[in-house]
């Protein structure tokens, strides 16, 4: 929702900060959205990669019967039946795995299908989107509450909090923040980079660095001149693994591109490559991922 509001209200770093403060304040005032507990649910369908990951982090994986296409982590999850892409669910396909509880990330759909599932009398719990540090802990708590095992959230939330606290301790002096360019694709020498409002932008900020590209939202192709003027200190890419590995941007290929060769990053040969799900997944591992990214950017502290 905040991303959409940005279109009309204008979106500078200050607006983003205000939104973050507002969201945090709202979260503190209202507490995490309370999901109805379902301690007896034994056939849980998990929709959304981060929700599935949280179910595993809570040690509740034995109750899962199926997952959606975006649930790739951990590897064991891939052995579960796949009910399709989370925004294009088929009502009968979902019913065929006979779930007695559906846990869905925000944005699961289409709405017609969700309405039918509710009509069929299957408990359906929507887990709030957890971008931002406070949101992540809320997300873990919400999944634990929906599963009727609130106590299991304590350990993962504490671990996450410890990572975030450590990040806050070691975060660089704002004046010395490094500028990071996240490259999504570099096929054919054309760079598709992350603007603001993306997971990549969020993790870069969590890691105490600054997104070198501020002019637009989302992932968009960049012109050579825009790359030069962005002057990134670091270039960040992700590894896709499996069949996606072919389109992964390789460090030497990236640095050889004329537009990038003029940047500080090329002078220092600073290319960081991290696993895509770990880096951008926004699940229980995100604190660790942000720490790892921080260490890769600023050197081990």
Q: How far is the CB of 220 from other proteins (least distance, A)?
A: 8
Nearer to other proteins, 97 or 149 (CB): 97
Choose, by CB under 8 A, the member of 12, 39, 218, 269 that binds other proteins: 218
Query: Pairing mode, if any, of strands 234-239 and 271-275?
Result: parallel
User: How many residues at the interface with other proteins, by CB under 8 A?
Assistant: 39
Nearer to other proteins, 23 or 159 (CB): 23
Q: How far is the CB of 183 from other proteins (least distance, A)?
A: 15
Stretch that binds other proteins, among 13-21, 84-92, 172-180, 225-233 (CB under 8 A): 84-92
Choose, by CB under 8 A, the member of 15, 23, 97, 274 that binds other proteins: 97
Stretch that binds other proteins, among 49-57, 103-111, 140-148, 269-277 (CB under 8 A): 103-111
Stretch that binds other proteins, among 25-33, 117-125, 266-274, 292-300 (CB under 8 A): 117-125
Choose, by CB under 8 A, the member of 25, 115, 158, 256 that binds other proteins: 115
Q: How far is the CB of 204 from other proteins (least distance, A)?
A: 17
Residues that bind other proteins (CB under 8 A): 3-4, 7-8, 66, 69, 81-85, 87-98, 107, 110-113, 115-116, 119-122, 197, 217-220
């Amino acid at each position: 929702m905040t991303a959409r509001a940005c279109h009309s209200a204008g979106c500078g770093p200050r607006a983003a900060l205000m939104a973050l403060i507002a969201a945090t304040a709202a979260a503190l005032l209202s507490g995490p959205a309370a999901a109805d507990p379902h301690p007896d649910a034994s056939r849980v369908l998990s929709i959304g990669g981060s929700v599935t990951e949280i179910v595993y982090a809570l040690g509740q994986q034995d109750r899962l019967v199926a997952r959606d296409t975006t649930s790739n982590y951990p590897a064991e999850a891939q052995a579960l039946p796949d009910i399709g892409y989370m925004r294009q669910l088929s009502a009968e396909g979902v019913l065929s795995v006979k779930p007695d509880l559906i846990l869905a990330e925000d944005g699961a759909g289409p709405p017609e299908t969700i309405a039918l599932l509710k009509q069929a009398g299957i408990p359906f719990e929507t887990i709030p989107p957890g971008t931002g540090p406070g949101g992540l802990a809320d997300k873990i708590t919400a999944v634990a509450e929906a599963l009727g095992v609130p106590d299991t959230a304590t350990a993962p939330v504490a671990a996450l909090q410890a990572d975030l606290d450590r990040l806050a301790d070691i975060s660089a002096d704002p004046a010395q923040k490094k500028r990071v360019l996240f490259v999504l694709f570099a096929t054919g020498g054309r760079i598709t980079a992350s603007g603001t409002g993306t997971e990549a932008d969020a993790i870069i900020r969590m890691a105490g660095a600054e997104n070198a590209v501020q002019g637009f939202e989302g992932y968009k192709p960049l012109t050579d001149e825009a790359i030069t003027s962005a002057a990134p200190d670091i270039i960040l890419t992700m590894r896709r693994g499996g069949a996606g590995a072919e389109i992964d941007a390789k460090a030497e290929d990236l640095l050889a591109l004329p537009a990038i060769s003029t940047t500080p990053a090329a002078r220092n040969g600073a290319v960081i490559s991290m696993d895509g799900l770990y880096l951008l997944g926004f699940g229980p591992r995100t604190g660790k991922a942000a720490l790892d990214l921080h260490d890769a950017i600023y050197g081990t502290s």
